[in-house]
Amino acid sequence: MSAPRLLFSVSGMMERAPFLFLLLLISSSVFPRRCISDTVTPREALLLRNEVREMFYHAFNGYMKYAFPKDELRPSSCEGEDTLGSYALTLIDSLDTLVLLGDREQFTCSVEWIGKNLQFNINKTVSVFETTIRVLGGLLSAHLIASDYATGMRIPTYEDQLLHLAEDLARRLLPAFDTPTGIPFGSVNLLYGVDEHESKITSTAGGGTLTLEFGILSRLTNDPVFEEVTKNAVRGLWARRSKLDLVGAHINVFTGEWTQKDAGIGTSIDSFYEYLLKAYLLFGDEEYLYIFQEAYGAAMHYLHNDPWYVEVNMDSGAIVWPLFNSLQAFWPGLQVLAGDIDPAIRTHAAFFSVWKRYGFTPEGFNLATLSVQNGQRSYPLRPELIESTYWLYKATRDPRYLDAGRDMITSLQYGARCPCGYCHISDVEHHKQEDHMESFFLAETVKYLWLLFDLAAGPDNIVENGPYKYTFSTEGHLFPATPQVSLAKEHCSYLGAFCWSGDMRIESPSMEAGTEMGKTNVTKFYGRDGRSSLASSTYSADHVSGLIKGSCPGLTHGQKFGISYIASTSPDIIYDHSNDHNEYSDGRIHSVIYNQGPDNTWIETEMKGNDIPVSDADKPQVHLDER
């Protein structure tokens, strides 16, 4: 449907025509080799979840035995290698996966080892981006779990060692932000600051994917500097957007000139978009939301070539690369968070058809020739497609996503498993293995697979069952929306409230981007515990085609976000429990589901009592101990 626009927006119309014709032909059905598989049953989901757990331990134990305390494992030769900074990278990156798996023993001794042994006063020049998302993020999420009773994983002897390490590390990264544009250098020496010969060119993702980790650190340390520099970096990038509201891939941090003007949602840019929305979700800072809405709207207008995404020149909008690249695969997951589900479903189906064709997604797949792009033939165990599969399953409960997850497990088990862990695939056509295992395999790839099948089987984990709503970092780290993190600038009491339908107003962060609410049923949900609206097994039979945040007028960020509090402007809407002995005598909250009817009216359904198991805010429940 967007093809005509492309047709007229490119100059060489005749040259482009064959490509566009092909593009129009491509759909999820272009690869007809779809296997008919039986739908994954809850029992099978449990078995698959346990298989994923075994996959984790195969690789994690291999790392601990043969590589620790080096950064990463060489899974074929069973050795270690230092890839980032020689500071036990894979262990730090795996901490919150251990928590999800309920492994208190390994989590505790890992946190203790890190607290005692890790040091950042080392003469190493490291990537600001990778160090932030893998190490800083890993330390912060583990700190937030280890220091909090409500997670069920509190470590009694823990005394904020990881927070102190995180702060020390972040201070060593700060010199990178000292540039005229505010956009940081790509690399910094942890001991000596920015090297005088350091490149002044950095990627958009590198400068724009730091806000969550640094923002959390500011809120935990009460030092605003971390939040300020990273927000400034985002502003520096966004101020240099093109008149089409697109950003390029690489920029000079001194002059602010784009040195690579290809706009896209994949390589070099991807998580810039992701952190705009997630920084809003976690911190409630509407500046990020406004930027996201404009950036997302432009991406859907110029880059979306339903169901694929292309790269275009940021100034002219002309297509540069008709290429699927594997990093784009996070996008449908982001769209679920934005409430834009329909295009996410189509794009996921298209991307998954590439996976089915090769058993893995190559780094690049040429949409014009429908073949693997030369030079981009590898699959380095990336999580992005699995991540989107998880989010789409969470939003729709469509069993096709479990089937997809099962296919992905099969590919990894038969194609990538090697003696001490999982190997990169150097060529998806020949499934040739390579002796490397990135730390994100345990931080993300395995984590999202496990979450997918745990959700189908139970679920039994802190992400679905509370005590907080979690935002995932771009490295898959769990950032809880605790009051200290999410409500730093808001003051409200912890009492619990909900909106009457009359006070309800529809709010979709992606409204401009074409959420088609009229066509499909949209389900909304309120609960005071901050659980995902779709986590309850009550909904497992529902097919929800939209996930739109609603808000009562006058509600604060925390209330809108699902951690509900008394509405400051209308305290009289507190539900009177005294009339509802039967439904509410156990103190459990009721929540309201809104379904949009065919005539655009909203139909209210109350979920009562035991339908929604909620944790009591006054008595944080320990979930992981119950396994």
Ligand X SMILES: *[C@@H]1O[C@H](CO)[C@@H](O)[C@H](O)[C@H]1NC(C)=O
Binding site for ligand X (CB under 6 A): 123, 520-521, 595, 597, 603
Using the minimum distance from each CB to ligand X, give the nearer residue, 188 or 418: 188
Active site residue 270: yes
Q: How far is the CB of 186 from ligand X (least distance, A)?
A: 17
Taking the complex as a whole, how short is the minimal distance between the CB of residue 160 and ligand X, in angstroms?
Answer: 30
Instruction: Please identify, using beta-carbon distances, which residue of 98 and 345 lies nearer to ligand X.
Output: 345
Buried b (16+ CB within 10 A) or exposed e, 151-180: bbbebeebeebbbebbbebbebbbbbbebe
Name the token pair of 567.
């509405």
CA distance 267 to 593: 39
Nearest-angstrom CA–CA distance, 209 and 134: 12
- Residue number, 579 or 600, with CB nearest to ligand X: 600
> At closest approach, how far in Å is the CB of 595 from ligand X?
5
Choice between 587 and 597, CB closer to ligand X: 597
Q: How far is the CB of 598 from ligand X (least distance, A)?
A: 6
79-81 vs 72-74, strand pairing mode: antiparallel
Q: Over 355-418, what HEC string results?
A: HHHHCCCCCEEECCCCEECCCCCCECCCCHHHHHHHHHHHHHCCCHHHHHHHHHHHHHHHHHEE
Smallest distance from ligand X to CB 138, Å: 25
Instruction: Quote the least distance from Cβ 597 to ligand X, whole Å.
Output: 6
Q: Which residue has the tokens 């490397």?
A: 436
CB contact at 8 A, 362 and 348: no
Residues whose CB falls within 8 Å of the CB of residue 41, separated by 6 or more in sequence, listed in order = none
Please state, in angstroms and rounded to a whole number, the distance separating the CA atoms of residues 329 and 346: 12
Catalytic pick among 363, 403, 434, 444: 363
Of the residues 384, 403, 438, 444, which is catalytic? 384
Paired residues of 372 in beta bridges: 365
C-beta of 605: minimal distance to ligand X in Å? 8
Q: Where are the alpha helices (DSSP H) in 118-173?
A: 128-130, 137-146, 161-173
Beginning with the edge strand found earlier in the chain, give each strand of the sheet holding 591-596 in spatial order.
523-525, 591-596, 602-607
Nearest to 56 by CA among 393, 363, 409: 409
Are 141 and 96 contacting, i.e. CB atoms less than 8 angstroms apart? yes
Query: Can 512 be counted among the known catalytic residues?
Result: no
**318: number of Cβ within 10 Å:** 14
| Residue 506 or 622 with smaller CB distance to ligand X | 506
- Between 192 and 414, CB nearer to ligand X: 192
The first and second tokens of residue 326, run together, are: 């594997």
State the nearest-atom distance from the C-beta of 87 to ligand X, in Å. Answer: 15
Q: Which two tokens stand for residue 462?
A: 């802190």
The one-letter code for the residue type at 241 is: R
**What's the closest the beta carbon of residue 120 comes to ligand X, in angstroms?**
14
Of 227, 270, 311, 454, the active-site residue reads 270
Query: Catalytic residue among 93, 96, 103, 130, which?
Result: 130
CB-CB contact of 300 with 346 (8 Å): no
Q: Which alpha helices (H) appear in 27-152, and where do they start and end?
A: 42-66, 89-100, 104-117, 128-130, 137-146
SS3 call for 606: strand
If the CB atoms of residues 123 and 579 are measured against ligand X, the closer one turns out to be 123
Nearer Cβ to ligand X (310/544): 544
- Single-letter amino acid, residue 148: D
Instruction: Specify whether 384 is catalytic.
Output: yes
Considering beta carbons, is residue 604 or 625 the nearer one to ligand X? 604
Q: Residue ranges of the alpha helices (H) in 239-311?
A: 270-283, 286-298
Q: Which two tokens stand for residue 260?
A: 């690579």
Rounded to the nearest angstrom, the gap between the alpha carbon of residue 89 and the centroid of all alpha carbons in its chain is 20
Q: Indicate if 363 belongs to the active site.
A: yes
Q: Please state the closest distance from residue 521 (CB atom) to ligand X, in A.
A: 4
What is the rounded CA–CA span in Å between residue 441 and residue 59? Answer: 9
Is the bond preceding residue 307 a cis peptide, omega within 30 degrees? yes
Within 13 Å and on the Cβ side, how many CA atoms surround 594?
25
Q: Which is nearer to ligand X, 133 or 173 (CB)?
A: 173
- CA 434 to the chain's CA centroid: 27
Active-site positions read: 130, 270, 363, 384
